[in-house]
Amino acid sequence: MTGREVDVAIIGGGQAGLATAYYLRRAGIDFVILDGEAAPGGAWRHGWDSLRLFSPAAYSSLPGWPMPPGGDDYPSRGAVIDYLTRYEQRYALPVERPVQVQAVIYDGDRLRIETDKGPWRARGVVMATGTWRHPHVPHYPGQELFEGQQLHSAHYSGPDRFAGQRLLVVGGGNSGAQLQAELSLVADATWVTERPPVFLPDDVDGRVLFQRATARIKAFQEGRAPDAPPGGLGDIVMVAPVKAARDRGNLGSVRPFARFTRTGVLWTDGTETDIDTIIWCTGFRPALDPVAGLDLIEPDGTVALDSTRCRRNPKLWFVGYGTWTGPGSATLIGVGRSARDTASEIAAVLTGFPT
């Protein structure tokens, strides 16, 4: 058998993979991180130029080392990439990259991880592949007729190339609000949201989303209904550019169109609008391709878990995908909790002792 043997293989070297690695290291577990990017940072390497965190540095830290407070209230995308890069170095985490994991398959009492750089075998696998690779675009009637451009926010880098265009920005979360704010400065941008957007009060920011997630976890642990409002990453944090767009009257939104036409869209009132580009800020789905052959993925794209451990294959754990892997787990500060619990359970399984 060629390839390398390891106790645990973490697939994905973004924030979720690094947080899990931090705790596995503390538990003395032998592990490797297999990451598809050419450099550290995970999905943060692909965000748009002006993208900022919606929480201050102190509320965006991975376990063990607080994010250094930069000059800005909300760290830039570059500051996050720099932090994740230095985090890897600080803990000398064993990352193999770029490595594309093609499949995870059963191999006797192990799991075999097939990659473009050869196979690995592991006693346990942590999926930390995030969602960026699976942008979600909803279907609208006539979409195949439309001759204009379509772009998902995953591939948006900045406003310049859209100057003077007629745009639709579709999606009512943080991405939609931030792109509407930015694009309405250079183009005729219309914001389309399924329902009126939910804005957080001006004086709170992303940390309240973390506090809500914490309150929900506490309620579940105490066996009572959560009293914190459900709000998740979908509630819009009023970062400065979004506030400015509201103050200049560019943050109104309309309800979805009925269907596409060749040159634009037909609204439900029967009027038509010609559109040059549609920018889909319609979220993502878990990037679980490596385990697609293990018959684990539910119709909604998630996996049945007990905490983060796969119910149907106890050698697999899932970290960082958002609510179904733990409230707040798709955030820098929120992923630490599930990473800690995951590493503790793995240690207990592999060594008989929880950390």
Residues that bind ligand FAD (CB under 6 A): 11-17, 34-37, 42-44, 47, 51, 53-55, 60, 99-101, 128-130, 132-133, 174-175, 206, 287, 289-290, 320, 330-332
* C-alpha–C-alpha distance, residues 309 and 109, integer Å: 17
For residue 74, the minimal CB distance to ligand FAD (Å) is 7
Q: Which is nearer to ligand FAD, 42 or 148 (CB)?
A: 42
Specify whether the CB–CB gap between 320 and 33 falls below 8 A: no
Nearest residue to 309 (alpha-carbon basis) of 347, 345, 336, 335: 345
* C-alpha–C-alpha distance, residues 256 and 8, integer Å: 46
For residue 26, the minimal CB distance to ligand FAD (Å) is 19
Q: Which is nearer to ligand FAD, 13 or 264 (CB)?
A: 13
Q: Which is nearer to ligand FAD, 12 or 264 (CB)?
A: 12
For residue 290, the minimal CB distance to ligand FAD (Å) is 5
**Which tokens is 339 given?**
């990473």
For residue 260, the minimal CB distance to ligand FAD (Å) is 25
Specify whether the CB–CB gap between 182 and 52 falls below 8 A: no
For residue 348, the minimal CB distance to ligand FAD (Å) is 23
Q: Kindly list the distances between the CA atom of residue 300 and the CA atoms of 303, 304, 311, in Å, as whole numbers in the listed order.
A: 9, 11, 16
Contacts of 19 by beta carbon, 8 Å cutoff, 6+ apart? 62, 63, 319, 320, 335, 336, 339
Specify whether the CB–CB gap between 57 and 67 falls below 8 A: yes
* C-alpha–C-alpha distance, residues 64 and 105, integer Å: 33
Q: Which is nearer to ligand FAD, 75 or 148 (CB)?
A: 75
For residue 196, the minimal CB distance to ligand FAD (Å) is 21
Q: Which is nearer to ligand FAD, 137 or 266 (CB)?
A: 137
For residue 293, the minimal CB distance to ligand FAD (Å) is 13
**Which tokens is 290 given?**
């490596």
* C-alpha–C-alpha distance, residues 242 and 236, integer Å: 9
Q: Which is nearer to ligand FAD, 32 or 275 (CB)?
A: 32
Give the HSE-up count for residue 21: Cα atoms under 13 Å, Cβ half-sphere.
Answer: 26
For residue 221, the minimal CB distance to ligand FAD (Å) is 22
Count the helices and strands in the chain (H runs, E runs).
6, 17
Q: Which is nearer to ligand FAD, 198 or 258 (CB)?
A: 198
Q: Which is nearer to ligand FAD, 16 or 279 (CB)?
A: 16
- Cα dihedral sign for 109, 115, 119, 125? negative
Question: Would you list the DSSP string of 264-323?
Answer: EEE-TTS-EEE-SEEEE---B----GGGGGGT-B-TTS-B-EETTEESS-TTEEE-SSSG
